[in-house]
């Protein structure tokens, strides 16, 4: 028996932050827009044109780009299933003392919202 993966998380954005409002396979809803490509998300910015196309293409260069944004914690949503990149990819995070977690994208969306609500300086790198 299957289950419906469409989830709604947040009803509104009272303080202008970029909360994730919902997830469905192939799409992440932020505000009134559904994003269908990988993106970087912080409380005050969305970068919808982020490459790589999927987690298998993630390199340390992509993570150096994230380090320049100076998050305290990075949540990586690997897609519908949890997939771990080669551990060497994460060297830039280790060098910059940035915490990170890899999980499936639905869990990453929920975790991002919780951390954001706690006032944490979190960045979500989400693969759809």
Look at 1-5, 33-37, 86-90 and tell me which has the smallest mean pLDDT. 1-5
Q: Report residue 87 as tokens.
A: 């551990």
Q: Are 122 and 100 in contact (CB under 8 A)?
A: no
Strand positions, DSSP E, 1-128: 7-8, 20-24, 27-30, 33-35, 39-42, 45-47, 73-77, 99-103, 122-126
Q: pLDDT category, 49, cuts 50, 70, 90?
A: confident
Q: CA-CA distances (angstroms) from residue 127 to 12, 86, 88?
A: 23, 16, 19
Is the model's pLDDT at 8 over the cut of 50?
A: no
Q: Was domain 37-126 assigned CATH 3.40.1230.10?
A: yes
Query: Is the pLDDT at 44 greater than 90, yes or no?
Result: yes
Reported as a pLDDT band with limits 50, 70 and 90, residue 16 is: low
Output b/e per residue, 29-44; b: 16+ Cβ within 10 A: bbeeeebeebbbbbbe
pLDDT(53) > 90? yes
What are the structural domain ranges in the chain?
37-126
Asked if pLDDT for residue 125 goes beyond 90, the answer is: yes
């Amino acid at each position: 028996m299957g289950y419906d993966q469409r989830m709604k998380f947040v009803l509104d954005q009272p303080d202008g932050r970029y909360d994730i409002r919902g997830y469905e396979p192939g799409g992440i809803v932020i505000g009134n827009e559904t994003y269908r490509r990988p993106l970087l998300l912080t409380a005050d910015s969305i970068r919808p044109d982020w490459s790589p196309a999927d987690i298998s293409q993630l390199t340390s260069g992509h993570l150096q780009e994230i380090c320049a944004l100076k998050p305290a914690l990075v949540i990586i949503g690997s897609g519908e299933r949890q997939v771990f990149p080669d551990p060497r990819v994460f060297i830039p995070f280790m060098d910059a003392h940035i915490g990170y977690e890899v999980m499936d994208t639905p869990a990453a969306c929920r975790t991002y919202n919780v951390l954001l609500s706690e006032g944490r300086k979190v960045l979500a790198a989400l693969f759809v």
